[in-house]
Amino acid sequence: MQLLPQIVKSVEQLLIGEKIRVPLRRKIISTLIELAQNVIHYSITNYPYANPAISLTREGDNIILSVSNPIHSSQELFLRTYIENLLSMSKEEQLSLYQSVLTKSDYTDTGGAGLGILQVVAKSDGFQYKIEPLDQEHAYFTIEATFHAATNS
């Protein structure tokens, strides 16, 4: 199943068509790859009432990448605590933490670096998330990363 490279190729063509320059294309597509692979590794798959979703929209100079997936409600507290901690940091602190995790931490149980969300928070120009309850045991987790075409040109 090679869905992700197809999505990457399509998004790259779309961004070239929008005249987005190489560094910002790299940022957006790197973010897409991280978030999509987070979905592949961590989304629950046996829940029929909500599916993962990816959207890329442009609003003026803002390019907004949104990725959603269903999760177990038990993951909510960890995700909120982890993300709120990252959001309380300055960009410099986030990048410093990224370097520290990259060079000093071990791999996660799924073979990841434990850096996906941190990279997205650190590299995007705006980061929002929401966790909406679906039922007693499930919730819908959405990450929205914004990139400014003007400041990245």
Partner 1 sequence: MMPVLHIEPSLTTPEIHFDAEKGYFSIKGSSYPENSLKFYEPVVQYLAEFVRTHVPDPTKTLILETELNYFNTSTAKVLLDIFRYFEQLHEKGQPVKVRWLYLEDDTEMEDAGLDYQAAVRLPFELVALHEEA
Residue with Cβ nearer partner 1 (28 or 71): 28
The three-state secondary structure class of 47 is: coil
Residue 132 Ramachandran class (φ > 0 left, ψ -120 to 50 alpha, else beta):
beta
Q: Is 49 in the site for partner 1 (CB under 8 A)?
A: no
Report the 10 Å Cβ neighbour count for 61: 13
Q: How far apart are CA 46 and CA 21, in angstroms?
A: 39
Total number of residues that touch partner 1 (CB under 8 A): 27
CA torsion, ordered 49, 131, 75, 77, to nearest 10 deg: -150
Min. distance of Cβ 19 from partner 1 in angstroms? 14
Residue with Cβ nearer partner 1 (22 or 150): 22
Q: Is 17 in the site for partner 1 (CB under 8 A)?
A: no
Q: Is 116 in the site for partner 1 (CB under 8 A)?
A: yes
Residues in touch with partner 1 (CB under 8 A): 2, 4-5, 8, 21-23, 26-27, 29-30, 33-34, 37, 40-41, 99, 102-103, 107, 110-113, 115-116, 119
